[in-house]
């Protein structure tokens, strides 16, 4: 349960604010992910990092900016968001980004954009 942590757990921000979401994994994994979970929609994979290099960007708007300073930490920088960006943002990690590896998820950050 504590293998992947996310802070903050809840965030309310205005459309002109700048904020950052933080994810930390304590599992010794080399791959990290950001997902967006909106109500009644499938999870959307946003970004994939492998050994601190971004390997996937699924057409995510530029108002979301990821950063992976090392294999244990992943950030999602937010600026000029829209109300439709309100969602649960989940971080995950896996041993590597190969298809057979299980992803382990953090508890998520519940984001509300006003």
Query: CB 55 → another protein: shortest distance, Å?
Result: 6
**34, 20 in Cβ contact below 8 A?**
no
Q: Does 105 bind another protein (CB under 8 A)?
A: yes
State which of residues 74, 76, 78, 90 lies at the interface with another protein (CB under 8 A). Answer: 90
Place of tokens 């000029």: 80
Query: CB 41 → another protein: shortest distance, Å?
Result: 6
Residue closer to another protein by CB (options 14, 28) is 28
Lateral strand order in the sheet of 73-79: 4-7, 18-25, 73-79, 64-70
Diameter over CA atoms, the chain: 40
Torsion, Cα 82 113 45 31, to 10 degrees, reads 120
Residue closer to another protein by CB (options 17, 86) is 86
Residue closer to another protein by CB (options 6, 78) is 6
Q: Does 59 bind another protein (CB under 8 A)?
A: no
């Amino acid at each position: 349960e504590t293998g992947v942590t996310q802070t903050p757990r809840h965030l309310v921000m205005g459309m002109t604010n700048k904020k950052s979401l933080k994810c930390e994994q304590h599992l010794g994994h080399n791959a990290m992910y950001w997902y967006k979970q909106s109500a009644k929609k499938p999870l959307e994979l946003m970004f994939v990092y492998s050994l601190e290099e971004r390997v996937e960007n699924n057409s995510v708007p530029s108002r979301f900016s990821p950063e992976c300073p090392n294999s244990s930490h992943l950030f999602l920088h937010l600026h000029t968001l829209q109300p439709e960006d309100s969602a649960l943002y989940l971080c995950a990690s896996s041993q590597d980004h190969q298809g057979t590896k299980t992803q382990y998820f953090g508890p998520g950050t519940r984001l509300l954009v006003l």
